[in-house]
Amino acid sequence: MSETNYVFIKTANELHTLIEKASNAVILCDHNTEKFCLPLLKLSSDIPVISISPGELNKSTFSLNHIWNQLVLHQADRNTVLINLGGGVISDLGGLAAATFNRGIKFINIPTSLMGMVDAANGGKTGINYNGLKNYIGTFTSSESNYIWPEFLATLPFEQIQSGYSEMLKHGLIADKTYFELLISLELTPETTKTIDWLPLIKKSIDIKKAIVESDFKESGKRKVLNFGHTIGHALESFYCHSNLPHGHFVSAGILCETFLSHTLGRLELAESQKIIMAYDKIFNRIHFKPSDMEAIKKLTLKDKKNKNQIIKCVFLEQNGLASIDNEITLKDVEDSLNFYYA
Ligand SMILES: NC(=O)c1ccc[n+]([C@@H]2O[C@H](COP(=O)([O-])OP(=O)(O)OC[C@H]3O[C@@H](n4cnc5c(N)ncnc54)[C@H](O)[C@@H]3O)[C@@H](O)[C@H]2O)c1
């Protein structure tokens, strides 16, 4: 595993200079980050830009193919650096395109969403969705550098801020209760979003994830804690993939279900579980659900990448700030948690 170099950017000029310095750069963005973020960089017009349609449905083989084609068209070679300017869709997709093009070229992530800054751009997981299954094709490949500039958040819609916040809260829940409590004390709303000092919080989330990833890059053990909320969250996201609801909202639903299971299956104390559920309910609306969807969502949890021999393995909270991995759950447990969530 090669280490990603984190650079915390202070000015647009600094970012401009770093990108102009990269040899043979090609920029990957989506139509939103092309509109809102690319102009801030004031780059020279000879840097090629590949721009794709935004959204989770474009984290696909179709987009991957398009990026490979564009790289060929722009005469990219082994010395080319792909610069992923966007949210988690762009860093996952661009990371995979770079990891495979010419057997691997360098890439730099410039995350522009909160989700990207605190989570998706960090830790070396690249990937696309495949046949309706989340992140089923991908690699573990570290970016050369991540340039973090919270100024990009000024144009990010509030529901996308909430989405990233969901993963930040998760970082607190699995590793640092004080961080979780600090986050909930900020009372996230569209108004408070504008006054929050994001940089120290982003740094904290990066540090938590980095420490976990460094101990288990390829997720054979401890790294699985980062999947708290994702067993059920990914099943919901795969099922409702046409809903346009951001990733973190599905994760927050998964966190409520898996917090419920952590308590009912004998790990987490009732008072702790209630406090966590109340904190999430203050920030996120619950996702609407038709009871007739239940069987299909349950079946999707059987496809989770952490499972072994068709046994569903779930991350539990032992307490706020401490998680455990490889806890076996049944389809009945999944159903109970979804019934709790939708009650
Ligand atoms: N690889 C990992 O470890 C990891 C971790 C967490 C999430 N993810 C993945 O990340 C994805 C979710 O990331 P995301 O929430 O950033 O999604 P995203 O990339 O779709 O971005 C969300 C939306 O915000 C727009 N946007 C981004 N930055 C903007 C800005 N500054 N101003 C205005 N609009 C902006 C995008 O165009 C998009 O419409 C999912 O596919 C998820 O699976 C990966």
User: Which range of residues forms the domain containing residue 110?
Assistant: 5-154
In this structure, the answer to whether residues 123 and 162 fall within a common structural domain is no
Q: How many Å lie between the centroid of ligand 1 and the Cα of residue 336?
A: 30
In this structure, the answer to whether residues 311 and 334 fall within a common structural domain is yes
Residue ranges of the chain with pLDDT lower than 70?
A: 1
Instruction: Specify the pLDDT at position 318.
Output: 98
Give the C-alpha separation, 95 to 104, whole Å: 10
* Number of Cα atoms under 13 Å in the Cβ half of residue 219: 16
The answer to whether the CB of 92 is under 6 A from ligand 1 is yes
Of 120, 136, 154, which residue is a domain's last? 154
The best mutation among 4, 247, 255, 305 to test binding of ligand 1, ranked by most ligand atoms within 8 Å of the C-beta, falls on 247
Residue 293 lies in a domain: yes
In this structure, the answer to whether residues 150 and 162 fall within a common structural domain is no
DSSP letter for each residue of 57-102: GGSSHHHHHHHHHHHHHTT--TT-EEEEEESHHHHHHHHHHHHHGG
Angle at Cα 234 formed by Cα 233 and Cα 237, nearest 5°? Answer: 90
Q: Domain total for the chain?
A: 2
Residue 68 lies in a domain: yes
In this structure, the answer to whether residues 142 and 34 fall within a common structural domain is yes
In this structure, the answer to whether residues 146 and 85 fall within a common structural domain is yes
Residue 209 lies in a domain: no
Tell me the two tokens of residue 106.
């360098």
In this structure, the answer to whether residues 62 and 75 fall within a common structural domain is yes
Which amino acid residue places its CA nearest to atom 5 of ligand 1? 120
Give the C-alpha separation, 221 to 214, whole Å: 12
In this structure, the answer to whether residues 173 and 249 fall within a common structural domain is yes
Instruction: Specify the pLDDT at position 113.
Output: 98
Please, is 308 exposed, middle or buried when counting C-beta atoms within 10 Å of its C-beta (0-12, 13-18, 19+)?
exposed
Reported as a single tens digit per residue, the pLDDT across 267-278 is 999 999 999 999
Instruction: Specify the pLDDT at position 288.
Output: 87
In this structure, the answer to whether residues 247 and 296 fall within a common structural domain is yes
DSSP letter for each residue of 276-339: HHHHHHHH-PPPP--GGGHHHHHHHHTT-TT-BTTBEEEEEEEETTEEEEEEEE-HHHHHHHHH
The answer to whether the CB of 255 is under 6 A from ligand 1 is no
Buried b (16+ CB within 10 A) or exposed e, 215-224: eebebeeebb
Q: How many Å lie between the centroid of ligand 1 and the Cα of residue 111?
A: 8
Buried b (16+ CB within 10 A) or exposed e, 270-298: eebbeebbebbeebbeebebeeeeeeebb
Residue 218 lies in a domain: yes
CATH code at 63? 3.40.50.1970
Of 137, 154, 171, which residue is a domain's last? 154
In this structure, the answer to whether residues 262 and 193 fall within a common structural domain is yes
CA dist 90 → 29, 52, 237, 338 (Å): 6, 9, 18, 31
Instruction: Specify the pLDDT at position 286.
Output: 95
In this structure, the answer to whether residues 177 and 280 fall within a common structural domain is yes
Instruction: Specify the pLDDT at position 252.
Output: 97
Pick from 209, 198, 146: which is nearest to 5 by CA? Answer: 146
In this structure, the answer to whether residues 133 and 273 fall within a common structural domain is no
The answer to whether the CB of 30 is under 6 A from ligand 1 is yes
Give the torsion sign (CA, 33, 35, 41, 47): positive
Place of tokens 């990371």: 95
Instruction: Specify the pLDDT at position 32.
Output: 98
CATH code at 238? 1.20.1090.10
Q: How many Å lie between the centroid of ligand 1 and the Cα of residue 113?
A: 6
In this structure, the answer to whether residues 147 and 167 fall within a common structural domain is no
Helix (H, G, I), strand (E, B) or coil at 111: strand
Of 135, 154, 173, which residue is a domain's last? 154
Helix (H) or strand (E) holding 21: helix 12-21
Q: How many Å lie between the centroid of ligand 1 and the Cα of residue 282?
A: 22
Reported as a single tens digit per residue, the pLDDT across 18-64 is 999 887 999 999 999 999 999 999 998 889 999 999 999 999 999 99
Contact present, 249 and 166 (Cβ < 8 Å): yes
Instruction: Specify the pLDDT at position 152.
Output: 98
Instruction: Specify the pLDDT at position 1.
Output: 62
